[in-house]
Amino acid sequence: MSSAPLHDPLAPPVTGATTEVRYTTCYMCACRCGIRVHLRNGEIRYIDGNPDHPLNGGVICAKGSSGIMKQYSPARLTKPLRRKQDSERGAGEFEEISWEETFSILAERLGKVRATDPKKFALFTGRDQMQALTGMFARQFGTPNYAAHGGFCSVNMAAGMIYTIGGSFWEFGGPDLERSRLFIMIGTAEDHHSNPLKVSLSKFKREGGRFISINPVRTGYSAIADEWVPIRPGTDGALFLAIIHEIIKLGLYDREFLVRYTNSGELVNLDAAHDEFGMFVRTEVPEEEGCYDPQNKLWWDRNTNKPVITHSEGADPFLRGEFKLPDGTPVKPAFQLLQDRVEEYTPEWAEGITGISADTIRRLAHEMGITARDQKIELPIAWTDSWGKEHETVTGNPVSFHAMRGLAAHSNGFHTIRALSILMTMLGTIDRPGGFRHKTPFPRPIPPCARTPNDPRAVQPNTPLDGMPLGWPSDPDDLFVNADGSPVRIDKAFSWEYPLSAHGLMHNVITNAWRGDPYKIDTLLLFMANMAWNSSMNTTEVRKMLTDKEESGEYKIPFIVVCDAFHSETTAFADLVLPDTTYLERHDVMSMLDRPISEFDGPVDAVRIPVMPPTGECKPFQEVLIELGTRLKLPAFVTQDGQRKYRDYPDFIVNWETAPGSGIGFLSGWRGKGGEKSMRGEPNPNQWEMYAKNNCVHHEVLPRSYQYMRNWNKGYLEWSQRNGITRYAEPILIHLYSEVLQKFRLAAQGKGLTRQPPKNLAKRVETYFDPLPFYYEPLETQTSDKRKYPLSALTQRPMAMYHSWDSQNAWLRQIHSHNYLYVNAQTARNIDINDGDWIWCESQWGKVRCMVRYSEAVEPGTVWTWNAIGKAAGAWNLTPQANESQQGFLLNHLISEELPPQPDGSRYSNSDPVTGQAAWYDVRVRIYKTAEGEPEQTSPQFEPMKKYPGMKDAPNWLAYFGGGRKKGGAK
């Protein structure tokens, strides 16, 4: 044979092909990277990162690169489906119906609900990225029963940080690794803002930055950490408090920063008999109390040894000490109260809780404090602060942090995250180079101004809700409760049980609705949330609730509508299934009104533009809402005479404004009649085309003087105000000491001027609404027999998968087709469990059978697994033999959505008592070998799910070749 190759590897594999490149935004996870979709003869040939996109700069992850397999997945739903009349819910027996019939069923049913009691309609959505629209639909409908998945995701992170520094990680801010010298990542955080974090972490490492990972488990990013500090789950708060203790003890805090930019120096009233006990002393109450901190608090000036108004020219407050006001009121600066608080939180104390040695804790504190103090950055950027003082430079203390669900998903997470925010503040790192930096529309006032109604009369038939369905309570009068203090919402959000539940409590909706506590509902509409599987705690019982009936034979939750693009476990429990499109088939906005993709240097929003036609009869959920809103004649969607206002979703996005003529809409780019305006301007009929021409993204780079110190940056705050981003341009002082929390505590103590909690909740509110962070053992752990259940069990998300929906992806499932329970090898050996053994993992709530994998990268008291790889048999159009259901397992079966009953029989959510954040990571377990003869199969098992009409058959072989038949080469 000739030595010349026969196959020319450089020849185009398809000759004469029509090719095209289209730009849009990825949705294989929530990062929202810019992508280029390369089409060949109309099929997807390749998806890569858009090199001109500010978020990902051309890179793409494993998920983004597998978008093809999602687009052509056999798990796709393609037709509206109705549960067959003679079939039971959950059996998955459906018949196709038309969209017209679907809409008339929905409009008729929901029309009746709206005309009688709109709160009997509940709309809860998953990882949707369209909360501005879904929330608006709920509000227009008039129901308070709306939330997205934040309550079971990371609301503790949002609330803990926003109630402290006015901003938070992920969309709203993050570590400035470009300038940082020391980066500390705590807990599992890989899955949020992942590509940008990977990009910057790599650059950081290469530039010699030091990376410390504090985590019970060493995987993912922690692998490349310069140091791994294993910690026991749920004890991070103890660690932070001990670090704060050490930093105060050694004077390693940034005093100048604390004085000027936080409430550290403000004097707190310590007259226990006073109604204002624990509140800041005020000089006067301004006539107009807005949603901001009025500048009417006092410092005790070191120079004159007298109380003065904060930020008085020439004054410098004592941060420590105890003083008496002229009227005899005893006061202390907030900082002194913090010092008093952390007095007992010594490194030795924390060692016993966290499992980290006191020496290591001290060293961590020293590294943070000394790096922040001695490696200062001075950028030659002149700026003016809110008090009119001109600064020639911006200072940075280059220590940064990142954390997400690892801290958030504990019932003590809110205070843990408050402690972290305070630590970041003490190091002087907030919105400064090398530290934490905000992203527009943050920072916002503490708390942000959005409020829910505070009165049940806000819910009226045929009327929009009088207030936002979700918001940020600033005191007990903002709670959404009835006169007797009971919750108005189905999930009990914004009630005395979970007062600051800014993202709702989706994880309790099904249980509450099933039990009729606080009331029964009529229709539950779920969008893109797998509540019959991995998005629910206590999955087995929740599935039963979905099919449970009244004595009358009616389902306890009478009507369930599920909108999803795929054959998820939850679709089987629907009475009506609405087939959604994929991200490649629809218009979408990553809006400033929702969670945009802003950068540190300025606001960014983005769009998706369809690159493929919808499959089958799939319809984007946005179009469903617009159509339904129009048919129900919700005021935002119809003209005054009741006619259709918006042709479709793209038309709605272009023309809707927050108020007539406000110039503020969903998209901030190319506003104004000719697209000449940014942020604010008249609707532009060609806005979509202009986004399309510009990489589908709008990025306004702010002047450098507006890029830092934004809590107190006059220029930035006024820019923000001019552009309608915020109503107030007042400085946003960091809440080292939280008056908001103290107001709730006062109410619980029967003091203060606000309304007060019901008696049975007073103690709970008083305990957890502490104005300073404190450590307590997670609530579930407190109720667990720790000798019987000696291990903590955790989950985390693998980087190659996002939630549950990637098991249908033929490529990604080859990376993770099933999960193991990872156990410290010595822990396992001690109880005679071998690597690969089948075991039972059991909590006080239930047990699962699964396989063990030894690990040297997990601390001895923790077991963990990858989340959401385990599937119900047959779900996602996998065969019933697929590994996901036979070897894969779901830890959710071990986790309860509620804590054990109170003495009076009532049950609290298994959540943080401040925010209602689902406490996924609090569960305690034991593990033991299965008995001889038990099947080598995960337990529990469920009846295999059926395929629905309109779904493709899953092939036995896949030989994907996008866009035509290949000429030559491998056959």
Residue with smaller CB distance to other proteins, 535 or 808: 808
**Segment interacting with other proteins (CB under 8 A) among 121-129, 606-614, 689-697, 850-858:** 850-858
Residue with smaller CB distance to other proteins, 251 or 326: 251
**By CB under 8 A, residue 59 contacts other proteins:** yes
**Segment interacting with other proteins (CB under 8 A) among 250-258, 383-391, 504-512, 688-696:** 250-258
State which of residues 127, 218, 341, 415 lies at the interface with other proteins (CB under 8 A): 218
**By CB under 8 A, residue 74 contacts other proteins:** yes
Spatial contact of 27 and 66, defined as CB atoms under 8 Å apart: no
3-state secondary structure 602-660: ECEEEEECCCCCCCCCCCCHHHHHHHHHHHCCCHHHECCCCCECCCCHHHHHHHCCCCC
For 40, the token pair is 């060949």
CA 54/CA 440 separation, integer angstroms? 15
Q: How far is the CB of 941 from other proteins (least distance, A)?
A: 15
Q: Which residue carries 């310069």 as its tokens?
A: 226
**Segment interacting with other proteins (CB under 8 A) among 46-54, 93-101, 559-567, 754-762:** 46-54
Q: How far is the CB of 868 from other proteins (least distance, A)?
A: 16
First to last CA, the chain: 20
Q: Which residue carries 């059996």 as its tokens?
A: 91
Residue 679, φ and ψ in degrees, nearest 5: 70, -50
Spatial contact of 181 and 437, defined as CB atoms under 8 Å apart: no
Residue with smaller CB distance to other proteins, 511 or 855: 855
Q: How far is the CB of 398 from other proteins (least distance, A)?
A: 12
User: Other CB atoms closer than 10 Å to residue 554's CB: what's the count?
Assistant: 10
**By CB under 8 A, residue 856 contacts other proteins:** yes
Residue 807's region, left for phi above 0, alpha for psi from -120 to 50, else beta, is alpha
Residues in 389-448 at the binding interface with other proteins, rule: CB under 8 A = none
**By CB under 8 A, residue 318 contacts other proteins:** yes
Q: Which residue carries 């089948």 as its tokens?
A: 838
**By CB under 8 A, residue 307 contacts other proteins:** no
Q: How far is the CB of 826 from other proteins (least distance, A)?
A: 7
User: Other CB atoms closer than 10 Å to residue 936's CB: what's the count?
Assistant: 10
Spatial contact of 243 and 412, defined as CB atoms under 8 Å apart: no
State which of residues 206, 643, 659, 905 lies at the interface with other proteins (CB under 8 A): 206
Residues in 511-530 at the binding interface with other proteins, rule: CB under 8 A = none
Distant-in-sequence, close-in-space partners of 459: CB < 8 Å, separation ≥ 6: 117, 118, 119, 142, 143, 144, 453, 465, 488
State which of residues 24, 25, 50, 65 lies at the interface with other proteins (CB under 8 A): 65
Q: How far is the CB of 692 from other proteins (least distance, A)?
A: 20
Q: How far is the CB of 322 from other proteins (least distance, A)?
A: 9
Residue with smaller CB distance to other proteins, 261 or 555: 261
CA 861/CA 842 separation, integer angstroms? 15
Q: How far is the CB of 667 from other proteins (least distance, A)?
A: 27
Q: Which amino acid is at 614?
A: P
Cis peptide leading into 443, omega within 30 of 0?
A: yes
**Segment interacting with other proteins (CB under 8 A) among 342-350, 476-484, 760-768, 882-890:** 882-890
Give the number of C-alpha atoms closer than 13 A to the C-alpha of residue 71, restricted to the C-beta side: 25
State which of residues 49, 54, 173, 579 lies at the interface with other proteins (CB under 8 A): 49
Residue 163 is classified by DSSP as H
Residue 294 is classified by DSSP as -
Spatial contact of 836 and 852, defined as CB atoms under 8 Å apart: yes
Comparing CA positions, the residue from 415, 391, 486, 726 lying closest to residue 592 is 726
Q: How far is the CB of 279 from other proteins (least distance, A)?
A: 22
Exposure string for 209-243, b = 16+ CB within 10 A, e = fewer = bbbbbbbbbbbbbbeebeebbbbbbbbbbbbbbbb
State which of residues 24, 25, 56, 687 lies at the interface with other proteins (CB under 8 A): 56
Q: How far is the CB of 787 from other proteins (least distance, A)?
A: 23
Comparing CA positions, the residue from 287, 863, 954, 843 lying closest to residue 567 is 954
Residues in 618-657 at the binding interface with other proteins, rule: CB under 8 A = none
Give the containing element (helix H, strand E) for 23: strand 19-25
Give the number of C-alpha atoms closer than 13 A to the C-alpha of residue 588, restricted to the C-beta side: 29
Residue with smaller CB distance to other proteins, 61 or 702: 61
Residues in 338-397 at the binding interface with other proteins, rule: CB under 8 A = 363, 366-367, 370-371, 373-374
Q: How far is the CB of 355 from other proteins (least distance, A)?
A: 10
**By CB under 8 A, residue 178 contacts other proteins:** no
Number of residues binding to other proteins, judged by CB under 8 A: 112
**Segment interacting with other proteins (CB under 8 A) among 149-157, 247-255, 493-501, 925-933:** 247-255
Residues in 739-758 at the binding interface with other proteins, rule: CB under 8 A = none
CA 496/CA 481 separation, integer angstroms? 8
Residue with smaller CB distance to other proteins, 460 or 826: 826
Q: Got the DSSP string for 322-334?
A: -EE-TT--EEEEH
Q: How far is the CB of 216 from other proteins (least distance, A)?
A: 11
State which of residues 108, 226, 359, 676 lies at the interface with other proteins (CB under 8 A): 226
Residues in 858-877 at the binding interface with other proteins, rule: CB under 8 A = 858-860, 877
Residue with smaller CB distance to other proteins, 721 or 879: 879
Residue with smaller CB distance to other proteins, 311 or 813: 813
For 834, the token pair is 């071998």
Q: How far is the CB of 14 from other proteins (least distance, A)?
A: 8
Residue with smaller CB distance to other proteins, 568 or 726: 568
**By CB under 8 A, residue 5 contacts other proteins:** yes
State which of residues 219, 412, 723, 792 lies at the interface with other proteins (CB under 8 A): 219
Residue with smaller CB distance to other proteins, 46 or 277: 46
**Segment interacting with other proteins (CB under 8 A) among 313-321, 395-403, 483-491, 513-521:** 313-321
**By CB under 8 A, residue 962 contacts other proteins:** yes
**Segment interacting with other proteins (CB under 8 A) among 80-88, 153-161, 223-231, 448-456:** 223-231
Q: Got the DSSP string for 674-729?
A: TS-BSSS-S--TTHHHHHHHTTTEEE-PPPGGGSS-TTSBHHHHHHHHHTTS-S--
Residue with smaller CB distance to other proteins, 488 or 812: 812
**By CB under 8 A, residue 211 contacts other proteins:** yes
Residue with smaller CB distance to other proteins, 244 or 679: 244
Residues in 940-959 at the binding interface with other proteins, rule: CB under 8 A = 954-959
Q: How far is the CB of 307 from other proteins (least distance, A)?
A: 15
Spatial contact of 354 and 215, defined as CB atoms under 8 Å apart: no
**By CB under 8 A, residue 198 contacts other proteins:** yes
**Segment interacting with other proteins (CB under 8 A) among 103-111, 191-199, 678-686, 721-729:** 191-199
CA 349/CA 347 separation, integer angstroms? 5
Residues in 773-832 at the binding interface with other proteins, rule: CB under 8 A = 799-800, 808, 810-815, 817, 824-826
Q: Got the DSSP string for 505-543?
A: -GGGHHHHHHHTSS---SEEEEES--TTTTTSSSHHHHH
**Binding-residue pattern over the window 118 to 137 for other proteins, x denoting contact by CB under 8 A:** --------------------
State which of residues 22, 42, 48, 657 lies at the interface with other proteins (CB under 8 A): 48
CA 517/CA 510 separation, integer angstroms? 10
CA 845/CA 891 separation, integer angstroms? 11
